[in-house]
Structure 1
Amino acid sequence: MRIYACLAAMAFAAIPAFASDQLLLTPDAPARMLPAPPPDGSAEQKREMAELLRLQKTTSATAYEKADKDDKTESVTAFAEILGPWFDMKALPKTAALFQQVRTEEKAAAKTAKTYFLRNRPWVLEPSLKTCTRDDPQQSSYPSGHATLGYSFAVVLAHLLPDDATKIMARAKEYAENRLVCGVHYRSDIVAGQVLGTVVSEELLANANFKAEFEAAQAELTAAKSH
């Protein structure tokens, strides 16, 4: 996993001006930064499949229900459970707008990478896997879109709420790990999602125009949390 740790620290050379309708990543950027996933039939892929099959046998019904709920939650509201009822996007329009931009960026990055690598979902090779869903394309396993989303949101959110950073990052890890519980991703998929999500968020945080949006959201969150 050392290569992933190194990649998590990477940053792209130039950042264009921020705009709500303009992506910061070039189409081939994710493909350039992520290593190829283990090929089907390789020893590593078989080890990853074995992990999923073990989880099928050991995961409690409650844990599976939680993973299934996360499967259906693809927004920053996934962090509301650890922040509290005050973290309500309906009452936080500036924060909601900020995370919509993050969502646009990370989703485009993940889609580009998925299209480049075209890795088969685990259930394609092992149809007996119990899965939360099979609505996604068969060749869209790498990187995990949920993990990319979770970590891109978590890094920005941890900067917004530094006092809550530890539990925010712990929630991101749980959110990503639940993709294994759901049987829809391998571990290398969620590790790649962590790398990609982290880079996307750090690049946004380095952008001057995003910083202005960030500061407005931070003031909004600070006021809401103190009430």
Structure 2
Amino acid sequence: MGTRIWLRAAAGLLLMAAAGNAAAQAPERGFLAHPLDVKAWLAPAPAPASLAEAEDEAVYLHTRAILDTPRGAEAAADNVYVPEAVAPRFAEALGTALTPEDNPLALALIGRVVKDAEALVAPVKQPAPPAGTGRVRPFVAFGGKTCPLRPDDFKFHLRESGSYPSTHAALGWIWASVLTALAPDRADRLIARGIAFGESRVICGFHYRSDVEAGRLAAAALMAREAADPGFQAALAAAKREFDARRRR
């Protein structure tokens, strides 16, 4: 009798662990059945030879000197994308690090929102010429020192992909927004970290300033839409219960 009870309990724990691991894996889909129409409200990248483009170029050239400072090292460390790698970048602002073991629901939630963000910007996030009509990244257009390229930068063809808008800047805003909902007492720190995460793309030389601003705008619009989605609301409530329980330990 006692052995059967123990076996059932052990099986239950294994199923819970498997569910947690599954939740922490990269999601296959986001929350929104129909993405926002990004072209209806997001302006195109600055036109060639425009004042806005000249300002972008000036900021890029000016920020090359920052790479050899502590802020440059921070920018290089921010060159990450998957949830398990981004979480430590927000740990200090949050007061704790999200981990797949302790916070699978929170990480899965963020992963699904990121899927929605990728779908949102897809119509304007085009490959750079000659493969497409997207904006050429500054370090490709002008050369100059950048943050060290990581394996994922080559895997996802950073040099050939379009610069506008910055998905990483959107990612930083999404993390700041979701974590603020989980820990509103840490909001100021988290928002500052999310903004800095996007600015790191400019310092690294991977994006222009207007790319980053557009990425943040896209993320802010997306988060407003997510807040009205019942699936997102339920997932956020579950993630907050999970986070609060972990925080009390």
Deviations along 1:45-98, one digit per CA (max 9) or x if unpaired, are 122111111111244432222111111244251312322345323211211221
Structure (1 or 2) with the larger CA radius of gyration: 2
CA–CA distance in 2 between the matches of 1:43 and 1:24?
A: 37
2:76 matched residue in structure 1: 68
Provide the residue aligned with 1:57 in structure 2.
65
Q: Tell which deviates more after alignment, 66-75 or 83-92.
A: 83-92
Deviations along 1:102-143, one digit per CA (max 9) or x if unpaired, are 121112223332129611111232023434436414351111
> Residue 113 of structure 1: SS of its match in structure 2?
coil
How far is the alpha carbon of 1:41 from its aligned partner? 2.6
Q: Which has the higher contact order (CA 8 A, sep 6+)?
A: 1
- 1:32 is aligned to 2:40: yes
TM-score by length of 2: 0.75
Cα-Cα RMSD: 2.4
Q: Which of residues 132, 137, 158 is equivalent to 1:121?
A: 137
8 Å CA contact 2:30–2:115 kept in 1: the answer is no
> Is 1:92 the counterpart of 2:103 in the alignment?
yes
Q: Deviations over 1:115-173 (max 9, x none)?
A: 29611111232023434436414351111010011112211221222111111100001
- Residue of structure 2 aligned with 1:47, choices 35, 55, 58: 55
Q: For 2:126, what is the secondary structure of its paired residue?
A: helix
**Is residue 183 of structure 1 aligned with residue 205 of structure 2?**
yes
Looking at structure 2, the residues matched to 171 and 25 of structure 1 have their Cα atoms a distance apart, in angstroms, of: 30
Q: What is the CA–CA distance in structure 2 between the aligned matches of 1:176 and 1:25, rounded to whole Å?
A: 27
Cα distance, 1:98–1:23 mapped onto 2, change above 3 Å: closer
Structure 1 partner of 2:236: 214
Partner of 1:130: 146
Q: Aligned with 2:123: secondary structure?
A: helix
> Is contact 1:28–1:112 with CA below 8 Å preserved after alignment?
no
Structure 1 residue matching 2:165: 3-state secondary structure:
coil
Secondary structure of the residue that 2:136 maps to in structure 1? coil
Q: Deviations over 1:22-65 (max 9, x none)?
A: 66274671222200111233222122111111111244432222
The equivalent residue for 1:111 is 122
* Separation of aligned partners in 1, 2:71 and 2:47: 29
Say which SS state the counterpart of residue 40 (structure 1) adopts.
Answer: coil
Deviates more, 1:151-160 or 1:215-224: 151-160
Residue aligning to 2:24: none
Q: Distance in 2 between matches of 1:224 and 1:27?
A: 33
- In the alignment, structure 1 segments of 5+ residues that lack a partner are 1-18
Aligned residue pairs total 209
Question: Contact 1:205–1:211 at 8 Å: present in 2 too?
Answer: yes
Secondary structure of 1:91's aligned partner: coil
Q: Which moved more, 1:173-182 or 1:63-72?
A: 63-72
